[in-house]
A and B are shown apart, each in its own frame.
Chain A
Amino acid sequence: MERDAAFVAYVAQRRPHLYRSAWLLCGDPHRAEDVVQETLTKLYLAWRHVSRADRVDAYVRRMLVNANIDESRKTWYRERTTAEPPDTPATPDSGEDDDELWTALQALPAGQRRVVVLRHYWGLTVEETASDLGVSAGTIKSQTSAALSSLRRVLAPEHPTPRAFIASDIQGDGQ
């Protein structure tokens, strides 16, 4: 079927990017996969119309953000304490700088995190981001500014590494 072939071609090309976006948005690899699956299911249903209008990425971005919001409202995803460590690392297995950015990104309010992912990972303009999120350009600018203020510390080329101190403090408390 022509529809399926075109859909598969799109998914094969864009799925990794969608998954990474979802992972940056929600901070959890399993939840990111759920969000991507839900998004692509909706995309499949709307494929004929969306692909004809040549706006697949725009549609997918909105679905992805909305699906992440929906997932975050589901009670079974609410955080709870556990005695067992997670089987998947919550932070990227990479350099310390990325580690800090990851932590700072996940500490942002959800609205600011969405703006950062759309503007600085997808590379959208203020207007495109505003259109995707259904808010004004002024809101995007203010949220971008607030997010940058929070992230500036970890973006600076030379900055203290408070995370190391925090880690040692926790270890010290436990002994």
Chain B
Amino acid sequence: MKDHDLLADRMGRLGQNAPEAAVNPLDDVRRGQRALRHRRAVGAAGITVTLAIIGVASATLVLPDDSARDTPIASTPSESTPSPSTPTPSTPDSRSIEVSAAAISALCQVQADRLEQLNQPPGSQPTFPRPRKTELSPSWENPAVAPQLAAYQQAAALILDPSGTHLDSEVSNVQFGCNPANDRLTSLGTKLGWSSSGALGVVRLEVVTPEQAKASQIIMSHEGWIRTNDNLPPGISKAWVTDYEDGRAVYVERQDGLTVAVDANGKFGNNVSPGSPSAADLPTDEKLLQLAASTLLGLPNYKPA
């Protein structure tokens, strides 16, 4: 008998000698249910805090000056507004939209000011100028990100909802992160409502640079990620998927270096009430992966290393 067979035989016998553990499988179910409840509670709290911060920022903060608002966008119309009849290409070269460095810098300043304001003691005067009334504008309309966010929506509509039945047709939300050292975007994302059967769900998109990949909100808000190699679209190096009570999510590492996460949730966090129904007809894993591979999901001014 070969060593391998002999060892397998002996290991089988050894395993039979393991101490007996009398455990009820229902205890494992209860532990799982507790973990599920905990995860939902953490996820709901995270969404609430994020929405609160975004609400404060969009109500009180704007671009520091008008010059950034008027910065021309270097991208061509074909890059930012794909034809609805053309299938989204999935090639490794990310179609990140070029904008002026000043526009990105101005946007990043908004974030820095917002953080400064949030960190100030109550009653103290802000150290940055108060925005003028005419400057008030939601961040998702900022010229530094608006074209890229429009591309996100276009890609999501083309791939996830070609019939135009479920997905919001306009962007009304943004999350972004900046590297304060160089005023470059490190992450950009948005949430698009997904309506179905009278219920409102959400599709979240997030594009992150390699150094910030671990800080992705979507990746952090879910557990149970499973590596998948099944029929990955071109341009994806590695992919993970997860499934949870109200939806599913994917994230991928792409050949252009970006990490892209897409989350389809049958319930939009701030609209959830106990017993409320989940939106139906959520996109499949395959569709989410296809969207994550789309070159329209780029990051403004991003250059692969």
Q: Determine if B224 and A46 form an interchain contact, defined as CB atoms under 8 angstroms apart.
A: yes
B122 within 8 A of A: no
- The one of A11, A42, A92, A97 in contact with B18, judged by C-beta atoms closer than 8 angstroms, is A92
Interface residues of B in 78-112 (CB under 8 A from A): none
Q: Determine if B17 and A8 form an interchain contact, defined as CB atoms under 8 angstroms apart.
A: no
Chain A facing B: main interface SS: helix
Point out the residues of chain B lying under 8 angstroms from A21, CB to CB. 15
- The one of A7, A32, A151 in contact with B29, judged by C-beta atoms closer than 8 angstroms, is A7
Known contacts: A20-B15, A117-B11, A155-B6. The answer to whether A45 contacts B224 by CB under 8 A is: yes
B223 within 8 A of A: yes
Q: Determine if B8 and A45 form an interchain contact, defined as CB atoms under 8 angstroms apart.
A: no
B14 within 8 A of A: yes
List the one stretch of B140-148, B240-248, B268-276 in contact with chain A: B240-248
Cβ contacts A36-75/B at 8 Å (1 or 0 each): 0100111111111110110000010000000000000000
Q: Determine if A94 and B10 form an interchain contact, defined as CB atoms under 8 angstroms apart.
A: no
Point out the residues of chain A lying under 8 angstroms from B224, CB to CB. 42, 45-46, 49
Known contacts: A44-B36, A105-B14. The answer to whether A37 contacts B31 by CB under 8 A is: yes
B33 within 8 A of A: yes
B211 within 8 A of A: no
Interface residues of A in 64-96 (CB under 8 A from B): 88-89, 92-94
- The one of B15, B223, B241 in contact with A42, judged by C-beta atoms closer than 8 angstroms, is B223
Interface residues of B in 1-48 (CB under 8 A from A): 3-4, 6-8, 10-19, 21, 23, 25-26, 28-29, 31-33, 35-36, 39
Point out the residues of chain B lying under 8 angstroms from A37, CB to CB. 28, 31
Measured in the bound complex, the distance between the Cα atoms of B33 and A152 in whole Å is: 45
B226 within 8 A of A: yes
Q: Number of A interface residues at 8 Å Cβ cutoff, please give it.
A: 50
Point out the residues of chain B lying under 8 angstroms from A33, CB to CB. 21, 23
Measured in the bound complex, the distance between the Cα atoms of B208 and A78 in whole Å is: 38
Q: Determine if B28 and A40 form an interchain contact, defined as CB atoms under 8 angstroms apart.
A: yes
Q: B11 CB to closest chain A CB, in angstroms?
A: 5
For residue A37, which residue of chain B has the nearest CB? Answer: B31
Point out the residues of chain B lying under 8 angstroms from A29, CB to CB. 18-19, 21
A109 within 8 A of B: no
Known contacts: A8-B25, A45-B32, A121-B12. The answer to whether A94 contacts B3 by CB under 8 A is: no
Q: Determine if B4 and A45 form an interchain contact, defined as CB atoms under 8 angstroms apart.
A: no
Measured in the bound complex, the distance between the Cα atoms of B12 and A94 in whole Å is: 13
Point out the residues of chain A lying under 8 angstroms from B28, CB to CB. 7-8, 11, 15, 37, 40-41, 44
Q: Determine if B7 and A148 form an interchain contact, defined as CB atoms under 8 angstroms apart.
A: yes
A24 within 8 A of B: yes
Measured in the bound complex, the distance between the Cα atoms of B46 and A83 in whole Å is: 48
Measured in the bound complex, the distance between the Cα atoms of B18 and A172 in whole Å is: 30
Q: Determine if A152 and B3 form an interchain contact, defined as CB atoms under 8 angstroms apart.
A: yes
Measured in the bound complex, the distance between the Cα atoms of B29 and A37 in whole Å is: 10
For residue A5, which residue of chain B has the nearest CB? Answer: B29
Q: A165 CB to closest chain B CB, in angstroms?
A: 22
| Shortest Cβ-Cβ A-B pairs, 8 listed | A44-B32, A49-B243, A46-B224, A92-B17, A11-B25, A20-B15, A20-B18, A120-B8
Report B's interface with A, CB cutoff 8 A: 3-4, 6-8, 10-19, 21, 23, 25-26, 28-29, 31-33, 35-36, 39, 223-224, 226, 241-244, 248
Known: A23-B15, A92-B14, A102-B17. 15 other contacts (CB 8 A): A7-B29, A29-B18, A32-B21, A33-B23, A40-B28, A41-B35, A44-B32, A46-B243, A47-B32, A49-B226, A50-B226, A120-B8, A120-B11, A148-B4, A152-B3
